[in-house]
Each structure stands twice: as C-alpha cells, then as structure tokens.
Amino acid sequence: MKQPHQDERGGVGEIDSSMDAQAPDSDFDGATPLAQEIADLARRRQVIASTTLPLPSRTRIFTISNQKGGVGKTTTVVNLSAALAKSGARVLVIDLDPQGNASTALSVEHREGTPSVYDVVVNDRELDEVIQKSPEFDGLFVIPATIDLAGAEIELVSMVAREQRLSRALGRFLDEYDIDYVLIDCPPSLGLLTINAFVAATEVLIPIQCEYYALEGLSQLLKNIQLIERHLNPKLRVSTILLTMYDSRTNLAHQVAADVREHFPDEVLDTIIPRSVRISEAPSYGQSVISYDTNSSGSLSYMEAAAEIARRGVPR
C-alpha cells in the first residue's frame, strides 16, 4: 500500500487517490483522521460525479489576475479550464503570459515562432489562426503564448487602440464560435498585457495565496480594476476570489482565509484549494491535475470550484 505523502513538516500532506480503494480494509479504523479523510474524498467524488453543471447562456470571460507572482494564477487557469471542459463546457484559455506556463501545462506547442497570442495583439492576426486544441479534454482550446510576447509590452505602447487589441480580436472570434468560458492567464504585473486582459474580460477572478503578505498589493489591484472599469471597460466586475495553497494545519492559513472572507463575503468561493503535491507535479507531465490524478483532493477541489462558479452564474 502506498503511504500518504509526507510534507516538509512531516505531516500527512495529501492522500494518494489510489488509497481509497482500500479504505474499507480493517487497517483503517473509521475514527482515525486518515480514514476520515479517505471517506471524505470518496463522498466528494460521488457528489461531483452525480452533478451536471449548468452552461452559461452567454460566454463568460474571466481574467485571472493578481500582480503578485506565484499565487496560483496559472494553476487556477489550467485546472479550472480542465474541470469546466470535463463537465461538458467549451472552454478557451488565452495564455497572455510570456512565461507560457499555461501553454506548457495544457500541452500545446509554444516554441519561439509558433503562431501565438503575440501575433494577435501585435500583428493583427485572428484568434482562429493561432488556436490549438488541448489534448486534455474535448472542448478545451488554447491560444498559446511564446517568448515573443516578452517584447509586446513595449511594442504595444505606440500602437493604435493598444488597450483594446485583445478585446477586439476576441469579439470577432466569439461572433463566429460557440464558447462557454474564456479564461485569460495574466503575467504578474499591471502592464499593457494585463490591461488588454481586463478590457477583454467581463469578470475578474483573483487567486489569493493563504500566506503572509497575501493581502498586500490587493488594494492596489482593486484600484487599478476600478480605473479600468471607469475608463475602459464598464462591464468589468471582480466576481470571484479563490483561496489557494491552503495548508489547514497552520493558524496563518486560517487567519488569512478568515480575513479575506470578512473583506469579500460575496466574492470568495466556499471552495478552498489546498496545498497539494499532486497539483504542483501535474504540469511537469503536461497535464492538469484533473487528468493527472482526477481523484486527488487537489483535483476534486478545482472541480468543486468550477461547479460553484457555474452555479453562481454572472454576478448582478
């Protein structure tokens, strides 16, 4: 039998999804935390398997943004898009980060020179000329980012309608193709690429890492979103806040989660994404955690987050 992963502090970090098949064995006394966790995973899996998610009546366009680096933006884009596509939605991921991490995780070609989002925002190419299908799930499509995009911030400065270039291309694309969700992965900065994402979107999803400093910079981000709303995109709303990398054993994580819930009671999803080894290893296999280890707690959490987003619908 596999052992649960030991984390840095020696605690039980995550239950391997293969374990629950053996849960009924007498090795597990129903009262132990491990057995309880296994039973909980099985229950959550059943709930997810038995629910059908509603599709939106109009395309919902999210930008996943936080100028803080490493808070789980790309991980959220990749796994939410995979969860939504698995549930039957048609999903378009736009990788707007020159690092190209979302393109890597969704296993689409993004070597230098590959037709990409750079050609769309800088060279006036259409999205359907650069789109690729992700091998992950039917109905999951990606506009890849290549390293060429690193120069785009500077090239855009002197261009006409520099803030609207992605929005206009996306509008033309959505006139022709049926897509339920668009998820845009932003770089960790508030430059012209991120502004293009804010102008193209109707909803902002902010991932917040449950760590110290989590709230620092958040008020600046919200101020910038307000400015965009006032001057460039009146339809933009911060609809969703997702707590990520939650370690239930630390008081700090509890405190950060409680603070965020107090400040944003309507926006924060009930679902919290745990810190999970499975989530962090999936990209190195060119996979979302949804296909890499579909029954792990990280995968179930992203499926639960997707379900919440689908059920809540567009905020008024």
List interacting residues with ligand ATP (CB under 6 A).
69-75, 97, 101, 188, 244-245, 273, 275-276, 279-280, 298
Q: Which residue has the tokens 């190209």?
A: 100
CB nearer to Mg ion: give 101 or 276. Answer: 101
The token pair at 18 is: 């293969």
Binding region for Mg ion (CB under 5 A) out of 99-107, 170-178, 220-228, 293-301: 99-107
- The least CB distance from residue 160 to ligand ATP, in Å, is 29
CB nearer to ligand ATP: give 90 or 241. Answer: 241
Beta bridge partners of 91: 140, 181
Between CA 10 and CA 5 the distance in angstroms is 9
The token pair at 208 is: 């917040």
CB nearer to ligand ATP: give 72 or 144. Answer: 72
Query: Considering CB distances under 5 to 8 angstroms, the limit depending on partner class, which of ligand ATP, Mg ion, none binds residue 75?
Result: ligand ATP
CB nearer to ligand ATP: give 87 or 104. Answer: 104
Binding region for Mg ion (CB under 5 A) out of 19-27, 82-90, 100-108, 220-228: 100-108
- The least CB distance from residue 297 to Mg ion, in Å, is 22
CB nearer to Mg ion: give 48 or 204. Answer: 204
Measured at CB, which residue is nearest to Mg ion? 74
Which segments within 104-236 are labelled E, that is strand? 132-133, 140-143, 181-185, 203-209
Query: Considering CB distances under 5 to 8 angstroms, the limit depending on partner class, which of Mg ion, ligand ATP, none binds residue 295?
Result: none
CB nearer to ligand ATP: give 65 or 132. Answer: 65
- The least CB distance from residue 225 to ligand ATP, in Å, is 17
Does residue 60 touch Mg ion according to CB under 5 A? no
Assign 287 to helix, strand or coil: coil
CB nearer to Mg ion: give 73 or 86. Answer: 73
- The least CB distance from residue 246 to ligand ATP, in Å, is 8
- Using CB under 5 A, which of 63, 65, 66, 74 touches Mg ion? 74
- The least CB distance from residue 60 to ligand ATP, in Å, is 20
Query: Considering CB distances under 5 to 8 angstroms, the limit depending on partner class, which of ligand ATP, Mg ion, none binds residue 70?
Result: ligand ATP
DSSP tag of 190: -
- Using CB under 5 A, which of 45, 73, 110, 165 touches Mg ion? 73
Beta bridge partners of 181: 60, 91
The token pair at 198 is: 């804010």
Nearest residue to 274 via CA among 251, 260, 253: 253
CB nearer to Mg ion: give 76 or 233. Answer: 76
- Kindly list the strands in the beta sheet with 203-209, ordered across the sheet, starting from the edge strand earlier in the chain: 132-133, 140-143, 91-95, 181-185, 60-64, 203-209, 237-246, 268-274
Q: Which residue has the tokens 């059920």?
A: 311
Kindly give, in sequence order, each residue whose CB lies less than 8 Å from that of residue 284, ignoring residues fewer than 6 positions away. none
- How many Cα atoms are found within 13 Å in the side-chain-facing hemisphere of 293? 20
**Angle, helices 218-231/192-200, rounded to nearest 10 degrees:** 60
Specify whether the CB–CB gap between 116 and 110 falls below 8 A. yes
For Mg ion, the binding residues (CB under 5 A) are 73-74, 101
